[in-house]
């Protein structure tokens, strides 16, 4: 008697020829070396994104994206909907952990120079997804329409408004008017649940396709350490099962965070109330916010804030295009400059985030 | 000091020197009296004339010269009749000079001009060229007398008429303060102060007693003696002075009592300008102690609902028949303390028990006991609900709806306290039941939240156990697979 799952597999295989895919997965190997741990952060990021999609869809069943109802609808989710508190808290915590995991994944790729030829497109799509993740965070932060999110959005869009040349167009486009209002909320809701997920899905598809097609990059120099067959492990089932194990741990961590530190809702936003003291953006924007605070109002003839935005813009662009200007790594040579630059960036982000948190 | 003031001062001083050093008869007065001139006749009774100050003290000129041309020659310092604010400056040349006033044997204060100029009367008149009032506006010009002199326009018995000269003139007052009433004198004459004043009592309050004399400010000005927070101390200047009030046979501890009362604390300590001051109950210009009938009207002007409920209550008739003041009987007058629940009921400290006893008035006694029981139940129920809401909040639970409902429970308790004044147990029970119902719902919701908090922890423990079991199983599966793979690889190598 052929088992049911085997018969189901055969049924599908007859129609879409699964054999090729299974053969491909069976021949796929993951390099094993002392930096292998960092490979898992790509998978963790993917898992957290999937949680975001699932919890986001569940929240959508009750969330109402309007100035009058958004706060109340989340209040309803938190207090009346069965397990609504859990879904909302997990969504909020996952949002933060997703950006943290994506950041670790990005820097691990950066330090291993895994962006080098032939994986330039994988890096590009990854970076664009990272920027989109920041967009997800910024737009999602406003959706509860509470006091903190309202004023943080006001400050955030103010900063967008000082971008040279396009700032004057970007700010009203983001706000849907001159001020942060119900129009901004509708807009951010649209970006958060339709525009960003749509674009993100395309980049994620390309990114995963490229990873499967090209396999995982080996850091420069690690190949010399071994040379026999034990330096790789099968993607299926070894790596995938390890991934699943880590995902389970992350899931448990999320449950603990949601139960012990439920995400607060705060007070409903009042556009006519004065801004409360100590308004700060989400932690992943804190280093930018803190830097802008330290830049003098005027540097020679240039506005300090404009200069800061320009510098961060240029830094972001250079990071995005690193596979194209780091020729040395592409040639397989060790590039210590990139390593030192990466260390500087990481220390800068950590230092200024702590400063922003403490000061 | 400005040039004109220097000039005036010199004139006055020269005039005094002339009069003092020469000791000659004042030629100005001789001539003007001879002509039947009214000012000169009045001046003979003027306090300044009696002190030896001649006409030239204010008008300049040479009082020793018999010839008009010489006596009234500008070269001799003659200035004629001072106009506008120069009048006040002329007076201040002596009255603001303490050394000179001492030499003249006066102990009057010397800050009158400063006080007048900073007062409401020191503002510019509609002409814009001079101030609203000058010294002569109230004191007169040539017949100035001491304030205590019954003939002085600012003596206690005359000052009301003097003030009314402008303040009762609607056409005049409209030019400066159209919203200010012009019936103060009429009201004053109906007051205890006014009627006694009319009978010649110089000790009772007149305009200057409350508003001040030179330093009068608008009642809206915090510096004014009749600004709400200053009124109690202004009234107590007389009413708190036992020696001064001895002949009137009324208590003098009102201020002391009021300061401790719920109204006094609100007004004097918290600065709540909406809280009543003395005049809120007694009236201001028409001040009188509220009578038995009117006391509830006075209290009811703010506590309207309580007054309405009382008027429709069975107590109304009984109080009227017993000649008892309505609100005052239970709450007192000047020393009204915050009405706590202790006032209600049948305990010795409750006011109800002063009249109601189980033997003499069992119905009222039972009603008072029931209302107190319900009030206590309401309070404890609300307290329990608030404590549960607070516990749920501290545990990080979303409890805003129950918290909002808690306000309704508090509101019902406040309504019940008001409903006491209907002295109707049925009506009281209705309100109390509503409050107890809301507090009960809040308690249930808050308790559910607290229970949910513990349920979440148990749920997390169960989820962690399941996830851990799955993770351990997965780990063992990976190990088994890899052991098998290594064995196969080993066989492969050997073959």
Instruction: Please provide residue A299's backbone torsions phi and psi, each rounded to the nearest 5 degrees.
Output: -120, 110
Using a pLDDT cut of 70, give the percent of chain A over it.
Answer: 97
Decide if pLDDT at B252 tops 90. yes
Please say if the pLDDT value at position A274 is more than 70: yes
How distant is the Cα of B368 from the closest Cα of chain A, in angstroms? Answer: 41
- Quick check: B459 and A265 CB within 8 A? no
| Residue among B464, B471, B475, B485 with most chain A CBs within 10 A, to mutate | B471
CB contact under 8 A, B481 and A259: no
Residue A50 near residue A250, CB atoms below 8 Å? no
| Contact (Cβ atoms closer than 8 angstroms) between residue B233 and residue B278 | no
Domain map (residue ranges) of chain B: 1-144, 146-286, 290-337, 362-453
Q: Are A255 and B463 in contact (CB under 8 A)?
A: yes
d(CA A136, CA A189): 10
What is the three-class DSSP state of A54? helix
CA distance A229 to chain B (A): 9
**B280's tokens:** 């809120």
> In this model, does residue B406 exceed pLDDT 90?
yes
Q: Please determine, for residue B437, whether its predicted confidence score (pLDDT) is greater than 80.
A: yes
Across the A/B interface, how many CB contacts are shorter than 8 Å? 57
Burial B393-411 (b: 16+ CB within 10 A, else e): beebbbbbebbebbebbbe
Nearest chain A residue to B493 by CA distance is: A229
More confident site: B67 or B182: B182
CATH number at residue A170: 1.20.810.10
- The pTM (predicted TM-score) of the whole model is 0.68
Task: Find the CB nearest B396 among A229, A249, A262.
Answer: A262
Which chain B positions have a beta carbon within 8 Å of A78's beta carbon?
398
Q: Does residue A97 sit within a domain? A: yes
Provide the pLDDT confidence category of residue B332 given band limits of 50, 70 and 90.
confident
Q: Is the pLDDT of residue B16 over 60?
A: no
Please check whether residue A7 lies inside any domain of the structure: no
Q: Answer yes or no: do B400 and A79 touch at CB < 8 A.
A: yes
pLDDT per residue over A96-115, tens digit each? 999 999 999 999 999 999 99
Residue A312 CA to residue A132 CA, distance in Å, equals 16
Q: Residue A245 is nearest to which of B397, B399, B475, comparing CB atoms?
A: B475
Mean pLDDT, residues B118-144: 89
What burial class does residue A160 get, using C-beta atoms within 10 Å of its C-beta: 0-12 exposed, 13-18 middle, 19+ buried? middle
Residue B5 has pLDDT above 70, yes or no: no
Of B97-101, B373-377, B434-438, which range is least confident? Answer: B97-101
Q: How confident is the model at residue B359 (pLDDT cuts 50, 70, 90)?
A: confident
Question: Is A248 within 8 Å of B471 when comparing Cβ atoms?
Answer: yes
Contact B399 A238 (CB under 8 A): no
pLDDT, tens only, A181-218: 999 999 999 999 999 999 999 999 999 999 988 988 88
d(Cα B439, Cα B380) in Å, to the nearest integer? Answer: 10
Mean pLDDT across the stretch A30-34?
84
Q: What percent of chain A has pLDDT over 90?
A: 69
Place of tokens 């050394």: B99
pLDDT of residue B424: 93
Enumerate the H helices of B192-266 as residue ranges. 192-198, 207-211, 231-239, 242-245, 254-260, 262-264
DSSP state letters, B44-77: TT-HHHHTT--THHHH-S-TT-SSHHHHT-GGGT
| Residues of chain B above pLDDT 70, percent | 92
pLDDT score, position B209 = 95
Instruction: Please list every residue in chain A whose beta carbon sits closer than 8 Å to the beta carbon of residue B474.
Output: 241, 244-245, 248
Q: Band of the pLDDT at A19, cuts 50, 70, 90?
A: confident
pLDDT in tens, A282-329: 999 999 999 999 999 888 888 888 999 999 999 999 999 999 999 999
Check CB contact under 8 Å for B478 and A251.
no
Determine the distance in angstroms separating the CA of A204 from the nearest CA of chain B, rounded to an integer.
Answer: 27
- Determine the Cα–Cα distance for residues B204 and B196; give it in Å rounded to an integer: 7
The rounded radius of gyration (Å) of the Cα atoms in chain B is: 40
Contact B401 A238 (CB under 8 A): no
Among A79, A252, A255, whose Cβ lies nearest the Cβ of B401? A79
Contact yes or no for B139/B124 (Cβ under 8 A): no
Mean pLDDT in residue range B37-59: 89
Taking an 8 Å cut-off on Cβ atoms, the answer to whether B399 and A255 are in contact is no
Euclidean distance between the first and the last CA atom of chain B, given in angstroms as a whole number: 124
Sign of the C-alpha dihedral computed for residues B300, B304, B310 and B312 taken in this order: positive
Q: Does the pLDDT of residue A135 top 90, yes or no?
A: yes
pLDDT at A67: 93
Contact B460 A229 (CB under 8 A): no
B215-249 tens-digit pLDDT: 999 999 999 999 999 999 999 999 999 999 999 99
Q: Which residues pair with A72 in a beta bridge?
A: none
Rounded Cα gap, residues A155 and A312, in angstroms: 17
For B393, which residue in chain A has the nearest alpha carbon?
A264
Candidate from A85, A248, A259 with C-beta closest to B470: A248
Mean pLDDT score, B105-130: 89
pLDDT at B10: 53
| Cα separation, A198 vs A102, whole angstroms | 18
Chain B environment of A85 (Cβ under 8 Å):
398, 456
**Overall domain count for chain A:** 1
Mean pLDDT of B362-379: 94
Cross-chain CB nearest to B481 (options A229, A238, A249): A238
CA distance A31 to chain B (A): 15
Please determine, for residue A262, whether its predicted confidence score (pLDDT) is greater than 80. Answer: yes
The whole-number pLDDT of residue B8 equals 52
Q: What pLDDT, on a 0 to 100 scale, did the predictor assign at position B12?
A: 52
Angle between helices A84-111 and A40-60 (to 10 degrees): 150
* Higher pLDDT among residues B421 and A1, named by residue: B421
d(CA B208, CA B155): 10
Residue B77: pLDDT band by 50, 70, 90 thresholds? confident
Average pLDDT over residues B134-145: 91
Angstrom distance (rounded) from CA B492 to CA B29: 147
Tokens of B132: 């609203």
Does the beta-carbon distance from A241 to B399 stay under 8 Å? no
With CB atoms and an 8 Å threshold, state whether B467 touches A248: yes
At B380, is the pLDDT very low, low, confident or very high (cuts 50, 70, 90)? very high
In order, the DSSP letters of B381-438 are HHHHHHHHHHHHHHTT---HHHHHHHHHHHHHHHHHHHHGGGT-HHHHHHHHHHHHHH
- Confidence category of residue B291, pLDDT binned at 50, 70, 90: low
CA-nearest residue of chain B to A267?
B400
Neighbours of B27 (CB within 10 A): 21
Q: A-chain residues within 8 Å CB-CB of B460?
A: 255-256, 259
In chain B, residues with a C-beta closer than 8 Å to the C-beta of A229 are 489
Least Cα separation, residue A79 to chain B (angstroms): 6
Q: Using the beta-carbon criterion (under 8 Å), do A241 and B481 form an inter-chain contact? A: yes
Which structure tokens are listed for B49?
Answer: 């004339």
The answer to whether the Cβ–Cβ distance between B467 and A242 falls below 8 Å is no
Selection from B189, B183, B193 nearest residue B278 by Cα: B193
- Domain encompassing residue A142: 29-219+226-267+274-285
Which residues in chain A are closer than 8 Å to B459, comparing Cβ atoms?
259
A151 neighbors A164 (Cβ within 8 angstroms): no
Whether the CB-CB separation of A66 and A185 falls below 8 Å is answered with yes
Residue B18: per-residue pLDDT: 46
CA distances from B8 to A133, A247, B11, B39, B70 (A): 86, 100, 5, 21, 19
């Amino acid at each position: 008697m052929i088992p049911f799952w085997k018969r189901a597999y055969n049924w599908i295989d007859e129609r879409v020829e699964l054999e090729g895919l299974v053969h491909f997965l069976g021949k796929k190997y993951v390099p094993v070396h002392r930096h292998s741990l960092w490979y898992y952060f790509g998978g963790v990021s993917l898992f957290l994104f999937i949680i975001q999609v699932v919890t986001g869809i569940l929240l959508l069943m009750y969330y109402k994206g309007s100035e009058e109802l958004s706060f109340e609808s989340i209040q309803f989710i938190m207090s009346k909907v069965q397990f609504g508190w859990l879904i909302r808290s997990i969504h909020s915590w996952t949002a933060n952990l997703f950006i943290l995991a994506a950041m670790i994944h990005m820097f691990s790729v950066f330090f291993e120079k895994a962006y080098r030829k032939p994986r330039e497109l994988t890096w590009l799509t990854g970076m664009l997804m990272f920027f989109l993740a920041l967009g997800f965070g910024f737009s999602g932060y406003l959706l509860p329409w509470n006091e903190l999110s309202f004023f943080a959005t006001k400050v955030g869009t103010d900063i967008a408004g000082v971008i040279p040349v396009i700032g004057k167009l970007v700010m009203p486009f983001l706000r849907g008017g001159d001020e942060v209002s119900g129009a901004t909320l509708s807009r951010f809701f649209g970006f958060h649940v339709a525009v960003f997920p749509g674009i993100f899905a395309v980049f994620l598809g390309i990114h995963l396709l490229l990873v499967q097609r090209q396999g995982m990059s080996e850091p420069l120099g690690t190949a010399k350490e071994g040379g026999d067959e034990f330096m790789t492990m099968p993607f299926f089932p070894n790596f995938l099962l390890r991934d699943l194990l880590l995902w389970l741990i992350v899931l448990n961590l999320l449950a603990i965070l949601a139960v012990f530190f439920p995400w607060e809702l705060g007070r409903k936003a009042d556009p006519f109330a004065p801004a409360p003291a100590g308004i700060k953006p989400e932690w992943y924007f804190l280093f930018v916010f803190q830097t802008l605070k330290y830049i003098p109002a005027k540097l020679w003839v240039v506005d300090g804030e404009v200069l800061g935005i320009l510098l961060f813009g240029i830094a972001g662009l250079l990071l995005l295009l690193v596979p194209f200007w780091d020729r040395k790594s592409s040639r397989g040579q060790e590039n210590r400059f990139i390593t030192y630059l990466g260390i500087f960036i990481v220390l800068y982000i950590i230092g200024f985030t702590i400063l922003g948190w403490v000061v | 000091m400005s040039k004109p003031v220097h000039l005036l001062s010199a004139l006055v001083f020269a005039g005094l020197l002339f009069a003092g050093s020469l000791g000659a008869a004042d030629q100005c007065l001789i001539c003007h009296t001879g002509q039947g001139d009214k000012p000169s006749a009045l001046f003979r009774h003027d306090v300044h004339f009696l002190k030896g100050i001649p006409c030239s003290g204010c008008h300049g000129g040479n009082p020793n010269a018999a010839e008009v041309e010489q006596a009234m020659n500008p070269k001799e310092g003659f200035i004629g009749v001072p106009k506008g604010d120069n009048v006040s400056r002329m007076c201040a040349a002596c009255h603001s000079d303490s050394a000179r006033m001492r030499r003249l044997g006066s102990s009057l204060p010397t800050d009158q001009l400063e006080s007048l100029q900073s007062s409401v009367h020191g503002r510019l008149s509609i002409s814009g060229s001079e101030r609203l009032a000058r010294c002569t506006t109230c004191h007169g010009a040539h017949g100035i007398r001491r304030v205590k002199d019954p003939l002085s326009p600012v003596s206690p018995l005359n000052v009301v008429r003097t003030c009314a000269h402008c303040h009762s003139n609607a056409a005049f007052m409209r030019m400066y303060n159209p919203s200010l009433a012009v019936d103060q004198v009429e009201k004053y004459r109906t007051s205890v102060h006014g009627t006694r004043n009319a009978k010649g009592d110089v000790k009772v309050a007149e305009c200057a007693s409350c508003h001040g004399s030179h330093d009068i400010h608008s009642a809206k000005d915090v510096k004014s003696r009749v600004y709400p927070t200053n009124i109690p101390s202004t009234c107590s200047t007389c009413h708190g002075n036992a020696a001064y009030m001895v002949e009137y046979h009324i208590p003098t501890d009102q201020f002391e009592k009021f300061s401790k009362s719920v109204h006094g604390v609100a007004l004097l300590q918290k600065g709540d300008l909406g809280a009543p001051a003395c005049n809120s109950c007694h009236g201001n210009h028409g001040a009188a102690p509220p009578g038995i009938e009117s006391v509830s009207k006075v209290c009811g002007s703010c506590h309207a609902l309580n007054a309405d409920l009382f008027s429709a209550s069975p107590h109304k008739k009984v109080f009227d028949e017993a000649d008892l003041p309505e609100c005052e009987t239970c709450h007192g007058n000047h020393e009204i303390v915050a009405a706590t629940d202790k006032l209600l009921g049948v305990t010795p400290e409750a006011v109800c028990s002063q009249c109601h006893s189980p033997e003499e008035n069992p119905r009222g006694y039972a009603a008072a006991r029931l209302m107190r029981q319900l009030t206590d139940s309401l309070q404890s129920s609300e307290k329990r609900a608030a404590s549960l809401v607070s516990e749920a909040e501290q545990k990080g639970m979303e409890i805003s709806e129950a918290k909002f409902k808690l306000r309704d429970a508090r509101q019902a308790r406040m309504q019940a306290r008001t409903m006491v004044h209907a002295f109707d147990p049925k009506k009281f029970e209705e309100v109390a039941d509503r409050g107890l119902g809301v507090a009960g719902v809040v308690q249930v919701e808050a308790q559910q939240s607290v229970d949910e908090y513990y349920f979440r922890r148990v749920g997390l423990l169960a989820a962690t156990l399941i996830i851990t079991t799955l993770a351990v199983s997965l780990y063992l599966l990976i190990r088994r697979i890899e052991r098998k793979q290594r064995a196969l690889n080993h066989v492969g190598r050997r073959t």
